[in-house]
């Protein structure tokens, strides 16, 4: 939707859902229906149907929430955005309820804005700013508690994110949530952009878990089975920074492999060629 500009001389209308003011170009024309902007019209009739909301794009969900001034920074999954939309629909009046005609605002060049409101001769009382502020506060509190509850359910410990070291066996991976799986992959520089299902994330975390165990066993077995000095094959596979963990990441764009994942995420430049590290990517050994 186009934001109303002061240079627009066309008549403006207030959307009966998001309460924002738009010109006639940003409204969907409907006979005997309340004025709705394009974004709110897209959600009309499906606000209480989770299955239909899940079919919408993430951008459309965020646009609808932003129009209602609901923060979405805490939402990392599409389901959380849908929950917020459902929360907004529970607090706000339903779209099927008949709503009186909205105030019409007209603007002419070099003239102040004139607002024409319908009279209240039927004894009805207008909603004052205090009542509107109370409803907005209830809506914000509802959405805030929803975000906090979804976050608390998926965090392993307060102030601590999921880590590969928390896993004691492969069976522990099945108990992880989607967010925790993504956190583990992100912390170990494993790309998960092509993963659309949870089982795909679990597959990559499982492979990462086995690869990490194999590297640790290889280093420990080589250390116990050889008495050679510096320059042996054991040191060649160790991180050149900490000399403790095996090398398991590659620097982009230079392509050098000299550190472990833990040290690689702290490097601003490659220690060999001094080239700026654009990205560190985890490497799986075959």
Q: Are residues 174 and 211 in the same domain?
A: yes
Range of the domain at 188: 164-225
Total Cβ atoms within 10 A of residue 143: 23
Q: Does some domain include residue 185?
A: yes
3-state secondary structure of 37: strand
Q: pLDDT of the chain along its 286 residues, tens only?
A: 454 444 566 667 677 677 777 676 665 555 546 667 777 777 766 666 778 888 888 888 888 887 777 888 777 777 778 878 877 765 554 444 444 444 444 444 444 444 444 444 444 444 444 544 455 555 555 554 544 444 434 444 444 567 777 888 888 888 888 888 888 888 877 878 878 888 889 898 898 888 878 777 776 766 665 544 444 556 777 888 888 778 888 888 788 888 888 888 888 888 888 888 888 887 776 5
Task: Check which CATH number belongs to the domain holding 196 and give it.
Answer: 1.10.720
3-state secondary structure of 16: coil
Q: Helices in the chain by DSSP H: which ranges?
A: 38-43, 50-54, 58-67, 78-91, 129-154, 178-187, 198-225, 233-236, 261-264
pTM of the model: 0.37
Point out the domain boundary residue: 225, 244, 266: 225
Task: Check which CATH number belongs to the domain holding 16 and give it.
Answer: 1.10.720.140
Task: Return the exposure string of 77-104: e unless at least 16 CB atoms fall within 10 Å of the residue's CB, then b.
Answer: eeebbbbbbebbbeebeebeeeeeebee
Point out the domain boundary residue: 203, 225, 247: 225
Q: Are residues 41 and 144 in the same domain?
A: yes
Q: Does some domain include residue 265?
A: no
Return contacts of 24-30, CB within 8 angstroms, 24+ apart: 26/1, 26/2
Q: Does some domain include residue 159?
A: no
Q: Are residues 143 and 36 in the same domain?
A: yes
């Amino acid at each position: 939707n186009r934001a109303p500009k002061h240079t627009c001389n066309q008549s403006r209308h207030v959307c009966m859902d998001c309460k924002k003011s738009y010109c006639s170009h940003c409204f969907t024309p409907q006979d005997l229906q309340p004025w709705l902007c394009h974004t709110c019209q897209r959600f009309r009739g499906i606000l209480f149907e989770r299955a239909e909301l899940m079919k919408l794009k993430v951008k459309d969900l965020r646009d609808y929430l932003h129009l209602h001034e609901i923060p979405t920074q805490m939402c990392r999954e599409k389901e959380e955005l849908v929950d917020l939309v459902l929360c907004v629909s529970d607090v706000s009046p339903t779209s099927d309820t008949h709503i009186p005609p909205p105030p019409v605002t007209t603007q002419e060049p070099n003239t102040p804005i004139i607002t024409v409101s319908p009279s209240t001769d039927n004894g009805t009382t207008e909603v004052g700013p205090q009542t509107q502020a109370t409803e907005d506060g209830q809506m914000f509190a509802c959405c805030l508690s929803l975000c906090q509850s979804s976050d608390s359910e998926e965090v392993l410990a307060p102030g601590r994110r999921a880590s590969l070291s928390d896993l004691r066996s492969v069976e522990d991976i099945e108990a992880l949530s989607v967010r925790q799986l993504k956190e583990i992959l992100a912390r170990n520089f494993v790309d998960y952009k092509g993963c659309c299902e949870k089982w795909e994330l679990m597959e990559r975390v499982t492979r990462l878990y086995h690869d990490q165990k194999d590297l640790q066993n290889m280093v420990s077995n080589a250390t116990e089975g050889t008495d050679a000095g510096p320059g042996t094959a054991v040191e060649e596979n160790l991180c050149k920074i900490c000399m403790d963990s095996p090398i398991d990441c590659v620097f982009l764009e230079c392509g050098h492999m000299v550190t472990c994942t833990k040290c690689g995420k702290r490097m601003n430049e490659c220690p060999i060629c001094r080239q700026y590290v654009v990205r560190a990517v985890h490497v799986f050994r075959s």
